[in-house]
Homo-oligomer: A and B are copies of this chain.
Amino acid sequence: MTGAVSPGDRVAIALLHYPVYNRNHDVVTTAVTNLDLHDIARAARTYGVGRYYVVTPVPEQRELAQKVLRHWLEGWGATYNPRRKEALEIVSVTETLERAIEAESSRTGQVPKLVATGARGGAGAVSFDNFSRQLKDSDDRFLLLFGTGWGLVEEVTQRADYLLAPVRGASEYNHLSVRSAVSIILDRLLGR
């Protein structure tokens, strides 16, 4: 064991169900969905991401997420599909972004830099190439923030240390699901 830390090890992700916008730009809490847990955990595990925080202030929603996790980590699902277990092992459910930052800090011994993502972009957004280089060269830890619904609210984006450029496809259409966006962003930053 050399103690060397791979780029993926220095990345964690947080999926925020609050505070996010809805289609009318109101600040809302969205519901946790089963596939957000599975798809994003599998992608995170594939790219060697250290931890995946599912953030919701609603106790019933946290309990629902924990129930899904228990099924696959301890219940019947763990023997039925060990690969699913391996992915979901990196999931933590937290009440707020603050709690996710605390948990990640105590897991790694470093306070992570916050990296906002979103389809809107903004002044000073950092390109994928530049941020990939940063990931390889720096000793920092990073927490990538993803918003459900219509995306992270301004306050979260402004508070972040970095804003990652939006994923552009090959058309003007720019409405990926958060599951697709996470997958593509992890591939661009950590793949190949």
Contact = CB atoms under 8 A, between A and B. Distances in A.
A157 B116 CA distance: 39
B191 A46 contact: no
A171 B39 contact: no
Given A180-B39, A180-B179, A180-B183, A190 B169 contact: yes
Interface string A175-190: 1110110111011101
A176 B46 contact: yes
Interface size range on A against B: 35 or more
Contact of A183 (B7, B168, B176): B176
Contacts of A169: 43, 46-48, 186-187, 190-191
Given A47-B171, A170-B48, A171-B8, A42 B187 contact: no
**Which among A38, A45, A87, A180 has the greatest number of chain B C-beta atoms within 10 A?**
A180
A190 B177 CA distance: 18
Contact of A187 (B7, B39, B81, B188): B188
- In order of increasing CB-CB distance, the 7 nearest A-B pairs are A46-B169, A180-B183, A48-B170, A48-B171, A47-B169, A39-B177, A184-B187
Interface of A: 6-8, 23, 35, 38-39, 42-43, 45-48, 81, 83-84, 86-87, 167-171, 173-177, 179-180, 182-184, 186-188, 190-192
